[in-house]
Amino acid sequence: MASGKTRLGVSAYAISVFIFTLGGNAVRWITGVPIYFALAGVLTVIGVVLFIKVKPARFRWYRLPSPLYWFLAIATLSIIWSQYRAESVLGVLAQLATTVVAIVLAFTLTWHEVLRTLATSLRYLIGLSFLFELYVSLFVGHYVVAWWVDVPEGETPSKLLWWSRDLLFSGGPIQGLLGNSAMFCFLGVLGVVIFSVQLRAGLVGRFNGWFWLAMSLLSIALTRAATVMVALIVIAITLAFALWARRMPPGKRTPLYIIGSVLLFGSIAVSLFWRTQVFGLLGKSATLTGRTEIWERVIELAEQRPWFGWGWVSYWPTWVEPFKSLDTKVGLPVPHAHNAWLDVWFQVGIVGLLAFIPLVALTLWRVWFRAVDQPRRGYGPPLPYATSALWPLLILAALLVQSLTESRLLIEGGWVLLVVLAVKSRFDFQLPSPDSEPVKVPWRHVPITRDAATGTIPTISATQAAAAKAAQPSVSDPDSQVQS
């Protein structure tokens, strides 16, 4: 077992990675692109060193999901036939580095540590975003661009180059530190899932949990991205089906799957045949703010090289063809296809899709059963369900909805979360139960004993907390902490 000092280092590293990848736009606005890439390299090197130091006992190369190998192999081989070889080399290196970092997190963190560090990173990103918007509204009073954006004197830059639009007191849409309302809104959705699970499971204090849940909802209200509104609906439906499945024996869930399939394909049909009406309800045009035009151009190019694609690059290098002239919005070339599935087909063809689809499908399959299967310890009777078993399923549902109008699933935070869930659900089958999870308990109920081998305070479970509380006088104590 790693020492307490090492565990602190692992947690700090995980928080840094989640902030850097989920808030990649914010880092680039603050530092500029060259420094951003330098920091990405530093995080990758630190991750490898940390992995070697911790030496996860469960790590085996064969425990990684096979489709992950297939997809990365195809992306790497695409350098051979790429139409922009130098950019493909950079794109593949970035993809491999991001994957390495995600694998480090998957093997060095427990499920609870992933939840806790992800929650901490979201608090930083959401909190600092609101402080940034508040500063702009109180002390600047107009739009803001990054220090490295060159704006000719007397000219107004494109709104796509505005870091903040100074709309906090006007009701939004605000953009936060990320400089993009859709990305900031999606952080709010992740926050709603993570903070709700922590609050319901008793992993954080009531004030802490409710405050950050309210901040997440406020970020959604002040950004109002249409796709994210759909994501919230899908998350709610997914949660309802998961809770329903928990009430049914494993062998009698066929009606649930039939109803779920009908609902899924029915929603797709309605969206296709009554697109104008559906998008109108979301405040969007039938073109989804020009996305359908981008999709048409991407499909045209993908059909020219359908099987192996044009070459992997992840983010589009907008200075080379065909990306340079593929599509522009407000005079600026777009950086991705606004659809992860089309982007995979475009870049690595049908062969790439045949690797990417199983990666996502198997991950969804595993996190579903993690959410709905009752935990056990050996051959004993099943244990009560735990709320925290639900968050991987709900997060993946949000990522899949976002993948329909954004390509974030393939890069940065989206790819990190996908790989962490894919890898961890592949080898770590431990299902949490209320008697084994860290809980929020008052200070006076926390034992002060230390583990002789590690010098750290041991984790306290719900059962231990209840026993400790029963042994103490019944006195109200608002001060408490989480042992994790």
Phi, psi of 481 (to 5 degrees): -145, 165
Per-residue pLDDT averaged across 345-350, rounded? Answer: 94
Peptide linkage before 473 cis (omega within 30 of 0): no
Start-end of H helices in 373-449: 391-402, 412-427
CB 297 within 8 A of CB 327: yes
pLDDT, position 354? 95
CA 358 from centre of chain: 19
Helix (H) or strand (E) holding 274: none
CB 417 within 8 A of CB 356: no
Q: What is the C-alpha separation between 92 and 75, in angstroms, rounded?
A: 7
Q: What is the DSSP letter of 386?
A: -
SS3 assignment, position 20: helix
pLDDT at 160 over 70: yes
Helix (H) or strand (E) holding 480: strand 480-482
Q: Partners of 480 in the beta sheet?
A: 442
pTM score, whole prediction: 0.86
pLDDT, position 282? 59
pLDDT, position 477? 32
CB 29 within 8 A of CB 146: yes
CB atoms within 10 A of CB 236: 12
pLDDT in tens, 268-319: 777 666 656 666 665 555 556 667 788 888 898 999 999 999 999 988 888 8
Measured CA distances, 304 to 50, 298, 316, 357 (Å): 44, 10, 18, 21
Of residues 254 and 93, more confidence is placed in 93
First to last CA, the chain: 15
Measured CA distances, 429 to 111, 371, 399, 421, 449 (Å): 10, 11, 22, 12, 30
CB 482 within 8 A of CB 439: yes
pLDDT at 455 over 50: no
